[in-house]
Amino acid sequence: MMLSNLPAEIIMKCCNFLPYDDVHQLAWTNRRTMQIVRRNLPMSLLPTIDLSSLSIYPISHKINTYLASIEFRFDQSYDSVAVMICVRNRKERKEFEEVDLKNMRLFNKYCRYRRLFAKFSKNPRNSGRSLELKAETAETFEYYTVSRHSCSNSNKEIIPLIELHWFLARTKVNRLYLNRCDRRNLWNIVDAIDSIRPDIRHVSVECGKHLQFELDDISKIEKSNFFDSDASYIAVKSCPFVVETLTIEKFRETTRWSIGYLDEKQISKLPQAVVRYISVDKGHINLREFLQVSYFIFDNLHMALNRQ
């Protein structure tokens, strides 16, 4: 029996364990499944947005609200915009689902507008469709919202917020950058990402002096699906458990680390790390300790090469 012929309750339970692209494909099986998905998971019916990069920055005076710099990847060009995103917990996502769906639909319309703008700006004769270009530069998402659509937020804010969970459910991201996050902001975003099955190819955590891992972060990193992505670069401030953090097995092959503010004792422990590349931005160590650490590293490297 095909999945689409099962009772609606079973179909919905199955959809909860499927990526949104698979739910989207299932919805088009027949009219019945389309009605079930449209009624219960309308967000999965939105078109997928292809992003070259997504950079997320915390906003100091706001909680759970972030600035996102987005670079679109169109057929023959690139385009970048800035939007405001928010992170909601499971209960809030249920409460604001209708609002978030409206804002996501609005953002999809804005993406189509930017695609057309980029195409017409490059060569207005490429298409017979008319597009009114009011200025040399494209409208921002905020201006587009105010000028063409009524705001979708229940609190009537001028700038609509894009919910991160739903946003990542309908996007494919080539590179994700998390910038200037402290522990609370980092795990707030990571937990939101772990709540969905996003298509993210490369991850870069560039938090520098703002982020200092603690001991309980080690187990959270090991359990997090987010760090199973190709976490190609992580920049953090020194932490008391620098060696324990750098010995996490999932970082062995793919991660480059940049760590600052190491003391002599911490630097001397770096040879125990399993990661392939570590740079120390700031730190201090006496010459004798430095030579001992260097000898230990090269000796281990020599033995590893001989075993090969």
Q: Which has more pLDDT, 136 or 11? A: 11
Outline where DSSP puts E strands in 31-132: 49-58, 65-73, 78-86
Which range in 124-133, 198-207, 261-270, 292-301 is most confidently predicted, on average pLDDT?
198-207
Contacts of 73 (CB under 8 A, 6+ apart): 50, 51, 52, 174
DSSP letter at 160 equals P
**CB count in 10 Å sphere of residue 55:** 19
Question: Could you give the CA distance from residue 174 to residue 210 in angstroms, rounded to a whole number?
Answer: 25
On whether the CB atoms of residues 152 and 137 are closer than 8 A, the answer is: no
Mean pLDDT of 27-52: 86
Phi, psi of 209 (to 5 degrees): -70, -15
Per-residue pLDDT at 209 = 87
Per-residue pLDDT at 135 = 45
Return the minimum-mean-pLDDT range out of 139-153, 224-238, 253-267: 139-153
Return the minimum-mean-pLDDT range out of 17-26, 56-65, 80-89, 296-305: 296-305
For residue 79, what are the β-bridge partners?
Answer: 72
181 has pLDDT over 80: yes
Per-residue pLDDT at 277 = 83
Per-residue pLDDT at 136 = 55
Which range in 47-61, 121-135, 139-153 is most confidently predicted, on average pLDDT?
47-61
Cα 284 to the chain's mean position, in Å?
34
For residue 206, with 0-12 CB atoms within 10 Å meaning exposed, 13-18 middle and 19 or more buried, which class applies?
middle
